[in-house]
Amino acid sequence: MLIAIGSAKGSPGATSLALLLAAVWPRPAVLLEADPSGGDLAYRCKAAHGGAPYSDRGIVRLAAAVRSGGENDGDALLNQAQLLAVGVNLVQGVESSTQGRGLAGLWPSIANACKGASVDVIADLGRIDQTSATMPIAQAADATVMLATARLDSAMHLVHRVPEVAAAISGVRAVPRIVPVVIGPDSTSVSDRAAIDTWLERAGVPLTPTQSVPVDDAALARLERGERPEGRMSRTLLVRAGRALAGSLVGSLAPLEVLS
C-alpha cells in the first residue's frame, strides 16, 4: 500500500503527520520524504544508532538506482532506508529545492519503486497541487491524505485544492481516493470536520469523511526524540488520533463513501 500525504498550501504539518503515521502504522512500512523543497526529518529526529541519520542514503540515491535499473524497484527503496530511534524506517529527502529540481523526470520511477516495495510506503509530498512534480506518486497512491489547519484560510485552500488534485489523479485512476485531514484543537475537531465536509460535498468529488489530528507539540517532540508510541505515550491525543487515522487508511480499500 502506498499512502501520499500533502498539504493544500504552506506547511500545516505534512511531515509531522507522515512521521506519526509511520510510527504507529500497523504493518511494516517505510517513510519516504518526497517533498522536492527539502526534507526535515534528518534534522529533527535521531537515528537508531543515537546520532543523526547517515547522509549517504536517501531519495537521491534511490533516484539514481531506479534510473540505472541496477536493482528491482522494491529493493532500491528498502536499500535506502535507515532506522530512526522512534522505530520508523526513513528514506530521507533532498537537502534543498535545488537538489529537488534535479529529480525532475524521475518521479514516475520513484513512484514505481514505492508501488513495487514489499512493505507499505508513506510518502510525504509537502505542498501538492495539480502541477506538482510529485504528482506521479499521488497518482500511484492507494490514498492521498490532504491536510489543512483549523484556520478558515487554510480550510478554504483545501476546499479549492481537493477537486484540482482529484482531477489530476483521476487522469490515471478512475476513482481517486482523497482523505481530508484537519489539524487543530481537539476541542473543536467535530465542528471543524463537519464544516470541511459541508464545503467539500458541493464539489461532487468521491471522498472519505474528513478526519482530524490534534495539535500536540509536546507529544510530537517526544516522537522526534525517539520515544516509541507505547506505554504512556500511547495514551496521548496525538498517538490515539494517529492510530485511528492509520487504521482507517489500512482499511481504505473498502468501497468509497461519496459525500452527498
Q: pLDDT tier at 258 (50, 70, 90 boundaries)?
A: very low
Position 203 in a domain:
yes
Position 259 in a domain:
no
Number of domains in the chain: 1
CB 150 within 8 A of CB 192: yes
Domain of 111, in residue numbers: 2-250
CA dist 148 → 14, 141, 188, 234, 235 (Å): 9, 19, 14, 24, 24
Calculate mean pLDDT across residues 13-17. 93
CA dist 128 → 32, 125, 250 (Å): 15, 7, 22
Residue 174 above 60 pLDDT? no
- Residue 115, exposed/middle/buried by CB under 10 A (0-12, 13-18, 19+)? middle
Residue 195 CB coordination number (10 Å): 17
Residue 256 above 70 pLDDT? no
Position 255 in a domain:
no
β-bridge mates for residue 184, sequence order? 214
β-bridge mates for residue 212, sequence order? 182
Position 82 in a domain:
yes
Read off the C-alpha cell for 9: 498550501
Position 256 in a domain:
no
Calculate mean pLDDT across residues 199-228. 88
Position 118 in a domain:
yes
CB 246 within 8 A of CB 25: yes
For 129-150, how does the pLDDT look when each residue is reduced to its tens digit (9 = 90+)?
Answer: 889 999 999 999 999 999 998 8
Residue 72: predicted pLDDT = 57
Describe the strand order of the beta sheet including 89-91 as a list of residue ranges: 82-83, 89-91, 29-33, 120-127, 2-7, 143-149, 178-184, 211-214
Position 127 in a domain:
yes
- DSSP E strands: which ranges in 104-177? 120-127, 143-149
Residue 44 above 60 pLDDT? yes
Whole-model pTM: value is 0.91
Report DSSP state, residue 179.
Answer: E
Residue 173 above 90 pLDDT? no
CATH classification at residue 215: 3.40.50.300
Position 64 in a domain:
yes
Residue 46: predicted pLDDT = 92
